[in-house]
Chains A and B, each alone.
Chain A
Amino acid sequence: MMAKKALWHGLTVVCGITLGLSVTVSQVLEAYRGDIDKELGTVSEEVVSDDGDNLYKTFLPDAKFYDPATETTNTKALIQAAIDLGRKEGEEGCVLLKNEGKALPITGTKPKVTLFGIRSSVPLLGSSFGVKVQGPCITLEQALTQNKTDFAHTIASQIPSRGGWSLTMSGDWTGDEFDFDGAGFDVNPTMMQAYAKIAESQTWAHNEGAKKEYDPKEPAISELGNAVDSITGGYEETGIVVISRPGGESNDYLPGSVAAGTGAEEPLALTTNEKEMIKLAKEKCKKVIVLVNCTSAMEIDELKEDKDIDAIMWIGFPGSYGMLGVADVLSGKKAPSGHLYDIYATYNMSAPAMQNMGDFKFSNADDITRSKSKTYVVEAEGLYVGYRYYETRYYDAVYGQGNAASSTGVYGSKGNWSYADEVTYGFGYGLSYTDFKQELVGRPVITKDSHEITMDFKVKVTNTGDVAGKEAVQIYGKAPWSKGMVEKSAIQLLAFGKTGIIEPGKSEEVTVTVDLQDLASYDSTFVNPDGTKGTYVFDSGDYYFAIGNGAHDALNNVLAAEGKTTADGMDYNGNAAATFKWNYNYQGGKQDTDTFAFSKTGQRISNHLEYGDWNFYEPNTVTYLSRSNWSGTWPKTYSNMKAPDSMMNDLNGHYYTIKQGEDTSSIKWNSKETNIQLYEMVGAEYDDYRWPSILSQLTVEESMYIAGYGGPTIPAVPSIGLEEYYMTENCGNGMVLSLNKTVDKNAPWSKNIDNDKNANWNPQVFAASPNLASSFNHDLMYELGVFVGEEALFDGLPILWGPGLNTHRHAYNGRNCEYYSEDPVLSGVCAMEFAIGARSKGLIAAPKHFAFNDQETNRNGVAPFMTEQRAREVELRAFQIAFEANKYDTAEKDMGMIGLMTSFSKIGAVEVTCSRGLLTDILRNEWGFHGYAVTDIFDDTDLYTAAVYAGITGFDIRGASSFYDKTKLSSRFGNEVDGVAIAPGIYDGDLAMNKALRQSNRDFLWGLAQSNLMNRFNASTHKVWKMTWWRGAYIAAISVTAVLTLGAAVMFVLETRKEG
């Protein structure tokens, strides 16, 4: 009897546990239903409209991809367009660095070549995370030899940062294959098979990231076995060697951090096996061409100097289809036209920024209460990032000033510092198969108004060679400098343009506009008339503007104009005719502190980031590099620094104290005076008269939710008819969702997508950001933005968390692949063109990480210290160019980017997310930004109040897919630094916070009103619950286990009664 009772008791509990677990699973599934739908392609909730009025009228795909008349979607055309664009990006991004004896292009009828290096078999196409490429791709070998894709057997592979190898697509590709005209080479099959066999170990993938103790794992020659004997019978004519270094989110390369046994001292230097492989190519082949497959500058000086290396070409991470463009260049179908996005130094450690890179922890970290505030990095290189350092020091060495030629900071030179020994290839450098002559045509047209000076340069480009090709025009500037002035780079890129294809003997005139704001210097010590400090200054004196093949060439042209020659220490004589000298004489030779003292919005400029400088907290502690004394100010390594007491409040997040007792009645909530719905605001201007009304309809709680949930879902806001939506995706090289996982299956172009053979095509296919930057092509940048906007329509997403817009502070940043360049003008223009192109399709491009996300090491809260001059003239200048988008402004419309994501990092000791100086004073007031400004994932929800006050419009607390019904503000944001739980009512006595909430909501909702989200709303729009297979599964599980539990319990009771 007892045994039966125990049995039923036990079964009741076991069934109860199973029931409980079923309920647990159901709760988790429902909580993340948005993410689950995205991953599985299911639809658990659907936004429906009872009538079709005004739906899907605002933003439509191109007619090539969707025909509204027949409601037909052509996914094949969409993929073909992606292939064509990827090919173009791959081609225009190629940078030819060396081409002795016209080794390139490889011509002839089916020329025979041998590929060397494991990366010739598994080239890097993207990164481990971020600019990863997904789905079917075209390999280098295919591009060189084939004329049709083999997508069914060529899926891009990946090794995520946590390790492990996998394909980037689950399931098979059963969609279309595509014809293409490949290079027509005959590639040595034996060697390819040998590498393919080695690659079966899955040690390499098409998407990988940087690592500590890096090892490229290039196989030893011995692993190729007898395959090396196959390099005969014509295959010895040309050897193509591929060398690579990966990049991706999360990890950096670190100084000296190389795996044991590689034979390299630094992670970006060639290893023994790589050198042996190159040696083999040289021994076996008559002609050796090296393809540099990286985005973090590798150390390739020995290849440049090696006479047996005939050609070197940088190809970056060319994306899923970019190898077609690389093949076009190798075969001579297209002449290379790219130019370097970064300087390539002989030794990367020679950059002053490398003196302070990596893991630095405050010596008194235990005294800091916030766990995310324990680390820092002092950016003591000051203004001299990337080429600005090498070129400025070179200029000063020629002039014999500032101890520039001293041995301090020498890495590649023997004895005194020498540019030629320290630099392999300069910023902006690139060759073609033809020769171009560039000439300045007349004087530039100078336009002045009270707070702006622009110059329109006309440059005549003549093809003096015998091959058709494109050419980039680069305009550099040099401002007058002498000891005692604020720091200035001796040369800087101001603008660029690109020709079309110019036939031999023909010319094209390119007009390039320079905004002298980009040549102004920030003086943080200047006292403004209103008593504030800091403004942009423009010294009277001689300014030089120069064209050239990169920054170094332009600087040599300037030096020539100044009368310098090789006799003065120049590495070669420049061309004075390639410069324009302009004497600026402001009020009798005074420093101009007026013209650029106001931004284009009319806002007076002043210091807003003083806390970015360590010396603000502890004067005279950090010495920043100065050209007045290169050796005396060469950065020391600031390790083991003690955070002073004056820094503690900032490090601990005490930025804002909620006020009590203020009269907040001027801000109305929950107003019933109007009933405007968001769908009515489609395309409304920021100053539309209806915004105050619609915003006053919000309840305080709704308002706080909007500011609290920035992504990936938008909150449901009943008072204005906004439904909850999954709305964001990552990165800038294409949208992440495959077509059949669109979150907007109501869109007419996606209605039948599940029946489309190409439905599992993933649009994240384009090249890494430095490839786009290297094209120096505005039109291509814009075109990419438009196409990603098309992809967004097919994915049903209105917001893209990208592109990456941080500065390449040094080559060791593992995430350089996701950012454009070390130069702010090049970076800013890339992002601007991309974002404006994307906006034309209703996609909000939200560049990241605003700002100062200068390394991945300790990125979650690291405190980078720098001067405000450095902040404004390097990193922020890129964002400013992109946000202001002056090129696209018209008398009727002030264009600009309308989204951003903030950085995980701080600026100085203050969280970027909470820096009102950055987010409101500079971003909104000086630059005129409006729109969506989201924090990065998990970013300090205990700083909600401070962040909203600073100017963010939404926290990104990933995964809160169904928060509105189930989540309380106070639980999600329960741990404010000052002990206040977030809940409606806490700001009742704080007028500034009421205003901040209102401003935040206005920016966010205005941004949405400009986006493709507006396609899917009208007066009848509402959400309905939908059955999915996973819902059915958990409902069945709960039902069955509930019945079993009940049954066992009943049996237990009956058994107990019997016993009784």
Chain B
Amino acid sequence: MKKTMILSGVSAVLLIVAFITALVSSNIVNMEHLSLTITVLVIGFVVFAADAYLATKFSNHHPIVVVVGLVALVMLVVALTNLILDSAVLAAAQFTYDAVNVSGWQAFYTRAASIVCVIAGMVLLAVKSFLKD
């Protein structure tokens, strides 16, 4: 199996994890941007899956693969932005006056996990883009 396919596959899996943790987090403390976040994560998953397939069918540096990768990147940026926006207020509360709010910390940690997954997806996308066929 090609390295590029593995990286794209792992990225897709990461987005599924990010999707699940975002849902779990929102179930604990409402997320304002939940709908948009899960939508772009799902699209991101599909795009990464397509990327894995296309990188195998063509080449890792075929223009179509590059464009698909950039589309994936946009999805990741949108997801990251919304996840951070939805975490900032919560984090501010937890770190100032509400440190004993167990539900708040659960929501915070699950959101942090979601954010880590998205950033990891970005890193893998970057690594993949440098790989030779």
Contact = CB atoms under 8 A, between A and B. Distances in A.
B97 A27 contact: no
Contacts of B80: 20-21, 24
Contacts of B100: 161, 250-251, 856
A371 B28 CA distance: 7
A975 B77 CA distance: 25
Interface stretch (B15-23, B38-46, B81-89): B81-89
A129 B28 CA distance: 25
A938 B89 CA distance: 9
A9 B98 CA distance: 46
A107 B125 CA distance: 77
Nearest to A27: B81
A31 B85 contact: yes
Given A17-B122, A938-B93, A860 B130 contact: no
A160 interface: yes
Q: Categorize the interface residue count of chain A.
A: 35 or more
Most buried by A among B80, B104, B131: B80
Contacts of A762: none
A161 B105 CA distance: 14
Given A17-B73, A20-B77, A161-B99, A9 B130 contact: yes
Contacts of B3: none
Contacts of A28: 81, 84-85, 88
A190 B2 CA distance: 74
B129 interface: yes
B30 A937 contact: no
Interface string A968-999: 00011011000000000000000000000000
Given A6-B61, A17-B126, A959-B92, A23 B69 contact: no
Contacts of B97: 129-130, 161, 249-250
Interface string B11-37: 000000000000000001110111110
Interface string B108-133: 00000000000000100110011111
B35 A6 contact: no
A31 B84 CA distance: 11
B85 A6 contact: no
A13 interface: yes
A244 B89 CA distance: 33
A629 to B, nearest CB: 38
Given A129-B96, A959-B92, A975-B30, A16 B70 contact: yes
Given A17-B73, A958-B93, A9 B61 contact: yes
A9 B128 CA distance: 10
A644 interface: no
B103 A3 contact: no
A971 B32 contact: yes
B76 A5 contact: no
A63 interface: no
Interface in A220-263: 249-251
Contacts, number: 119
Nearest to B98: A250
B17 to A, nearest CB: 19
A12 interface: yes
B70 to A, nearest CB: 6
B66 interface: yes
Nearest to A32: B88
Contacts of A975: 30
Interface centre among A5, A24, A251, A372 (most CB of B within 10 A): A24
Contacts of B98: 250, 860
Interface string A732-761: 000000000000000000000000000000
A251 B103 CA distance: 15
Given A10-B126, A10-B130, A959-B89, A1056 B96 contact: no
Contacts of B81: 23-24, 27-28
Contacts of A941: 30
A24 B73 contact: no
A732 to B, nearest CB: 15
Contacts of A6: 60-61, 129-132
Interface in A155-214: 160-162
Provide the main secondary structure of the chain A interface: helix
Interface in A15-51: 16-17, 20-21, 23-24, 27-28, 31-32, 35
A1052 interface: yes
B40 to A, nearest CB: 12
A14 interface: yes
B6 interface: no
Most central of A13, A17, A129, A860 by chain B CB within 10 Å: A13
Given A971-B33, A971-B35, A250 B99 contact: yes
Given A31-B85, A250-B99, A5 B61 contact: yes
A7 interface: yes
Interface string B51-94: 00000000011010010011001101100110011001100111
Contact of A2 (B34, B70, B125, B133): B133
Contact of A162 (B34, B66, B69, B95): B95
Contacts of A35: 92
Contacts of A371: 28, 103
A14 B99 CA distance: 37
Contacts of A2: 61, 132-133
A1056 B64 CA distance: 12
A956 to B, nearest CB: 11
A856 B98 CA distance: 10
A12 B129 CA distance: 9
Interface in A894-912: none
Contacts of A249: 97
Contacts of A13: 69-70, 73, 125-126, 129
B35 A10 contact: no
Nearest to A35: B92
A942 interface: yes
Given A2-B61, A9-B61, A162-B99, A1052 B93 contact: no
Contact of B103 (A860, A958, A972): A860
A762 to B, nearest CB: 16
Interface string A1028-1060: 000000000000000000000000110010000
A566 interface: no
A959 B85 CA distance: 10
B89 A7 contact: no
A965 to B, nearest CB: 14
A938 B88 CA distance: 13
B34 to A, nearest CB: 7
Given A31-B85, A371-B28, A959-B88, A20 B76 contact: yes
A17 B125 contact: yes
A525 interface: no
A121 B62 CA distance: 70
A640 interface: no
**Which of B66, B97, B99 is packed against the most chain A CB atoms within 10 Å?**
B97
Contacts of B131: 6
A12 B32 contact: no
A27 B85 contact: yes
A24 B84 contact: yes
A860 B98 CA distance: 10
Nearest to B66: A9
Contacts of A1053: 63
B130 A21 contact: no
B30 A14 contact: no
A1052 B66 contact: yes
A971 B35 CA distance: 8
Among B89, B104, B122, B129, find the residue whose CB has the most chain A CB atoms closer than 10 A. B129
A1050 to B, nearest CB: 12
Given A938-B93, A971-B32, 6 more contacts: A6-B129, A162-B95, A856-B100, A937-B93, A938-B29, A958-B93
Which 5 residue pairs spanning A and B have beta carbons closest together?
Answer: A20-B77, A10-B130, A959-B89, A13-B129, A162-B99
14 contacts: A9-B60, A13-B125, A17-B126, A20-B73, A24-B84, A31-B85, A129-B96, A161-B100, A162-B95, A371-B103, A860-B98, A860-B103, A860-B104, A938-B89
